[in-house]
Structure formats: C-alpha cells, structure tokens
C-alpha cells in the first residue's frame, strides 16, 4: 500500500520522529501504550470485552511470527479495511487493552503496509508489559 497520508495525529507525529531517530523508541512506546488504536475485525464487536471474543486481523512477520495489526489512526485503518474482505470492521480500542490481551508468542505490527509503521516482536511485547504499568 502506498503511503499517501502524512502523520495525522500526535501519535503518528511521534512515530515519524522515532523512525527518523529524533525521538527515542522507548518514548514513542510509552506514548503508544496510552493512546487509542484501531484494529480490523472479522465482524462487528461493539460489546467485546476481550480479544478472545473477536477475530482481529493477524498477519505473519518475516519469520512466520503472528502479529496483531494495530493502526494509529482511523483513516489508516479505514483505507486498510477496504483491502481486507475477511476483516471489514474497524474498532477503536485502547492500545493497553490490546497489549494485555495478546497471547504469548504474538507480536504487534503497527500500521502494516504503511511506511509509517513498525513491528514489535512477541518477546518485546512481553518485556514492554513488564516494564510499563499497563492499566
């Protein structure tokens, strides 16, 4: 997917700064954890209380590791949703909630298909959860 969107919000501006090396990655991760995110779902799940109740978009990384897809803006999620027949619904979520709900062995990919994105392998997700007091 071609990157046609500039950073659309403060989270995306911080991500761009982290990618450019002008913001420490850890500072960005602290921001990410406490920011809303957007996931793609296989069906509407307005009342879901955990990831076990819904089927979010999970992609495989280069080493076949499952990675849950999280988007940093509704616009990026909506554009990505258009290309996904199996996950046609966008849901705004707490990123902390998503991280806490990830099963061991599952990583996080932020903005898959966009230049403004990155991957957090499963071990790094677990480390982040231990280091940050996720609500």
Domains of the chain: 37-131 (3.40.1350)
**d(C-alpha 121, C-alpha 29), whole Å:** 13
CA separation for the pair 90, 75 (Å, rounded): 10
At 5, the pLDDT band (50, 70, 90 cuts) reads low
The pTM of the whole model exceeds 0.85: yes
- Whether the pLDDT of residue 135 is over 60: the answer is no
CA distance 20 to 83: 28
How many of the other CB atoms lie within 10 Å of CB of 81? 19
How many whole angstroms separate alpha carbon 92 and alpha carbon 104?
23
> Which of the four pLDDT bands, split at 50, 70 and 90, describes residue 134?
low
Query: pLDDT tens digit string along 8-22?
Result: 999 999 999 999 999
Over residues 69-79, the mean pLDDT reads 96
């Amino acid at each position: 997917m071609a990157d046609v969107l500039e950073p659309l919000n403060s989270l995306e501006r911080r991500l761009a700064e982290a990618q450019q090396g002008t913001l420490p990655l850890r500072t960005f991760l602290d921001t990410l954890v406490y920011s809303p995110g957007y996931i793609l779902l296989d069906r509407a799940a307005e009342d879901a209380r955990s990831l076990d109740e819904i089927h979010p978009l999970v992609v495989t990384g280069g080493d076949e590791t499952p990675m849950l897809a999280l988007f940093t803006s509704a616009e990026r999620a909506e554009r990505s949703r258009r290309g996904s027949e199996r996950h046609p619904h966008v849901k705004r979520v707490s990123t902390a909630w998503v991280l806490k709900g990830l099963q061991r062995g599952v990583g996080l990919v932020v903005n898959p298909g966009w230049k403004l994105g990155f991957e957090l392998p499963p071990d790094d997700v677990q480390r982040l959860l231990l280091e940050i007091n996720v609500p």
